[in-house]
Chains A and B, each alone.
Chain A
Amino acid sequence: MKQLTAKRYLVTVFGAMLVWLAVAAVALLVGAEDIRSFDADALWRVIDYRLERVLMAALVGAALATSGVAFQALLRNPLAEPYVLGVSGGASLGVILGSIFLPGAMRAVTILRAGQAVVTLDTVGLCGFLMALLTIAGVYGMAQRRGRLDPYRLILTGVVVNAFFAAAIMLTAALAGDRLRNEIIFWLMGGLGGLGSRWEEMGLAAPLIVAGVAVFAVQAKGFNLLAFGEDTAASLGLHVERHRRTAFVVASVLAGTSVSLAGPIGFVGLIVPHILRMIVGPDHRLLVPLSVFGGAVFLTVADRLVQMIPYEVAGGLPVGVVTALCGVPFFIILLRRGRRMGGGAT
């Protein structure tokens, strides 16, 4: 019942960041390999690899969780999540088509930067991102009604678009050869690992994700007002159409970026906002920054668990499997205990 002062905000956000740093540190040092006996060289390689995955988990987790918060607020529906409007379908199809049709030589684009640094970009991921952008534009166009972005039309359009892409992906998988089909299925589970270094892709995605989160942080007050409907929100000073358009585009771009980086990892965007709501309540001014670190922690933990499974048992299990498996029981426990979940009628 206390008011949210700037001081309380900063303290909470800083606290969340400390929690994430602690979790990240543990994730770097604890793993399937016991690093205490390693020599400096091997140690560096392992830490480097883990650092990449921890940062990737942070980026993707933050993007998915904040996108989930935004979609739930925009659609006034606690069941909304980042993939509800079809962006993941589009990005996935883009990645799959890219990996089929791009000849081997074009898989990686090498850019020579001024000086000596060589930057290698995975073009398949870029294909996914471009398809995501096209999907966003398409959904945006289809969901317009008299110049306004209608929430109901958004959801229906999303359903249609998701169905379309699901069918297209199934068709592609059916027509593909066995090896490619396995790759597609594996990729669709969503995972943070990959062949080769992903630093360049993360370097491209990071500013986008940070910018998106910053926009949401400023939009959080508006998300609170929207919970009472557009009329009330407008009467309290919110520029409803502009707010909605911006939030939709940013949330979709964050979802598309995540999928292009790590495939369609499920559950994070749905469950992290709910867990946070049970802890701090539905105030979006807190939910947005906390879901940055909440999503990062969630995905980091899930990924670390996945990596600790011995290779012989289930090698290279995608993290998307774990997010769903671990997410469900945790969610049920909190559901039975928590009171401030969801809300009234939409």
Chain B
Amino acid sequence: MDGVSFAVARGELVGLLGPNGSGKSTVARLVMRLLSPSGGRVLLDGVDVAGCRHGDYARRVAYVPQESRAAFAFTAMETVLMGRGPHTGAMGFESEGDHRTALAALERVDAVSLAGVLLDELSGGERQRVILARALAQEADLLVLDEPSSSLDIRHQYDLYRLLRGLARREGRTCLCTSHDVNVAAAYCDRLVVLGGGRVAAIGRPADVLTADLLEQVYGIRADVVTQPDGRLVVLPRIE
């Protein structure tokens, strides 16, 4: 990757798109400090993230990975409570307030009824909601989601992004999502960052960014970009 540079404003839902191997996950992992850049910096509120302490960073940035499996049989509620980890002390004792925050997070993702269920007994969509609840329980301002809807069915994909947009609009949380699905991202994201060939191919609002030319240049597909009467943007690849 060379010359990837972009900024995300507070309260934005930004979609990070690009073909396989374009560096979407790499960018997500760089923001999460799971990787360190060989050149350049990652800045959070203008400050280089490399200098941040582990505990501090976890209170400001939350991560939703693509898939989650627990090595041991934790329940959904126990999983969400772990999101309070950055806020509890060394021993990890939780307070009544922590419990309320966790429950509220489950409410926001509509998963309170799943609280006592083992994580591994949940469906993929339910599990992703619980993991998102855990990220919400962290009370971080920035959420980084790595292909959060890739293992979800079409309804849950749209539900998840609608939820993220709600978080951005109503709570001012910033969300950075990598995505494979151009249409879902176009429907909900405020802005899209499209990576291609190791650099940023385009940044801007979905309507401005998603053009047939860009799709051909970046993904190598021939597609029609259609705007529906109600304003929806749809990418329709041509079937040879």
Q: A-side interface residues toward B, CB under 8 Å?
A: 1-6, 9, 73, 76-78, 217-218, 220-221, 224-229, 231-232, 234-239, 277, 281-283, 285, 339-346
Q: Is there an interface contact between A228 and B94, defined as CB atoms closer than 8 Å? A: no
Residues of B within 8 A of A342 (CB): 72-73
B238 within 8 A of A: no
Q: What separation, in Å, do the CA atoms of A232 and B79 have in the docked complex?
A: 11
Residues of B within 8 A of A346 (CB): 71
Shortest CB-to-CB span from B19 to chain A, Å, is 23
Pull 5 A–B residue pairs with CB atoms less than 8 Å apart, ordered by A. Answer: A3-B99, A4-B92, A218-B90, A237-B57, A277-B72
Q: Is there an interface contact between B93 and A4, defined as CB atoms closer than 8 Å? A: yes
A1 and B85 in contact, given A231-B65, A236-B138, A344-B69 (Cβ under 8 angstroms): no
The listed residue (A221, A235, A281, A339) touching B88 by CB distance below 8 A is A221
**Range of interface residues on B (Cβ < 8 Å):** 35 or more
Nearest residue (CB) in A for B102 is A3
Residues of B within 8 A of A237 (CB): 54-55, 57-59, 85-86
9 residue pairs, one from A and one from B, having the closest CB atoms: A221-B92, A237-B58, A282-B72, A235-B63, A3-B94, A76-B71, A343-B72, A344-B120, A237-B86
Interface hub of B79, B82, B115 (most chain A Cβ within 10 A): B82
Shortest CB-to-CB span from A299 to chain B, Å, is 24
A6 and B118 in contact, given A236-B82, A236-B138 (Cβ under 8 angstroms): no
Q: What separation, in Å, do the CA atoms of A4 and B55 have in the docked complex?
A: 20
Q: What separation, in Å, do the CA atoms of A339 and B116 have in the docked complex?
A: 13
Chain B, 126-169, contact with A by CB distance < 8 Å: what is the 0/1 string? 00000000000010000000000000000000000000000000
Nearest residue (CB) in A for B118 is A340
Known: A235-B61, A237-B55. 16 other contacts (CB 8 A): A1-B77, A1-B78, A3-B81, A3-B102, A6-B93, A78-B71, A221-B85, A221-B88, A229-B68, A237-B54, A282-B74, A285-B91, A341-B73, A343-B70, A343-B71, A343-B73
Q: What separation, in Å, do the CA atoms of A218 and B89 have in the docked complex?
A: 10
B176 within 8 A of A: no
B95 within 8 A of A: yes
B230 within 8 A of A: no
Number of cross-chain contacts by CB at 8 Å: 125
B208 within 8 A of A: no
Residues of A within 8 A of B68 (CB): 228-229, 232
Nearest residue (CB) in B for A239 is B54
Q: Is there an interface contact between A227 and B70, defined as CB atoms closer than 8 Å? A: yes
Q: Is there an interface contact between B93 and A218, defined as CB atoms closer than 8 Å? A: no
Residues of B within 8 A of A228 (CB): 68-71, 79, 82
B75 within 8 A of A: yes
Shortest CB-to-CB span from B122 to chain A, Å, is 11
Q: B-side interface residues toward A, CB under 8 Å?
A: 29, 32-34, 54-55, 57-59, 61-63, 65, 68-75, 77-79, 81-83, 85-86, 88, 90-96, 98-99, 102, 115-116, 118-120, 138
Nearest residue (CB) in A for B74 is A282
Shortest CB-to-CB span from B58 to chain A, Å, is 3
A340 and B85 in contact, given A217-B91, A218-B91, A235-B62 (Cβ under 8 angstroms): no
Residues of A within 8 A of B99 (CB): 2-3
A1 and B58 in contact, given A221-B91, A236-B83, A343-B71 (Cβ under 8 angstroms): no
Q: Is there an interface contact between B74 and A227, defined as CB atoms closer than 8 Å? A: yes
Residues of A within 8 A of B120 (CB): 343-344
Residues of A within 8 A of B71 (CB): 73, 76-78, 226-228, 343-344, 346
Q: Is there an interface contact between A227 and B72, defined as CB atoms closer than 8 Å? A: yes
Residues of B within 8 A of A341 (CB): 73
Interface hub of B29, B70, B115, B119 (most chain A Cβ within 10 A): B70
Shortest CB-to-CB span from B80 to chain A, Å, is 10
Nearest residue (CB) in B for A5 is B93
Q: What separation, in Å, do the CA atoms of A232 and B32 have in the docked complex?
A: 10
Nearest residue (CB) in A for B69 is A344
Q: Is there an interface contact between B92 and A234, defined as CB atoms closer than 8 Å? A: no
Residues of A within 8 A of B92 (CB): 4, 220-221, 224, 285
Q: Is there an interface contact between A283 and B78, defined as CB atoms closer than 8 Å? A: yes
Q: Is there an interface contact between A343 and B74, defined as CB atoms closer than 8 Å? A: yes
Q: What separation, in Å, do the CA atoms of A239 and B98 have in the docked complex?
A: 22
Q: What separation, in Å, do the CA atoms of A345 and B71 have in the docked complex?
A: 6
Interface hub of B54, B99, B120 (most chain A Cβ within 10 A): B54
The listed residue (A5, A226, A231) touching B94 by CB distance below 8 A is A5
Q: Is there an interface contact between B98 and A3, defined as CB atoms closer than 8 Å? A: yes
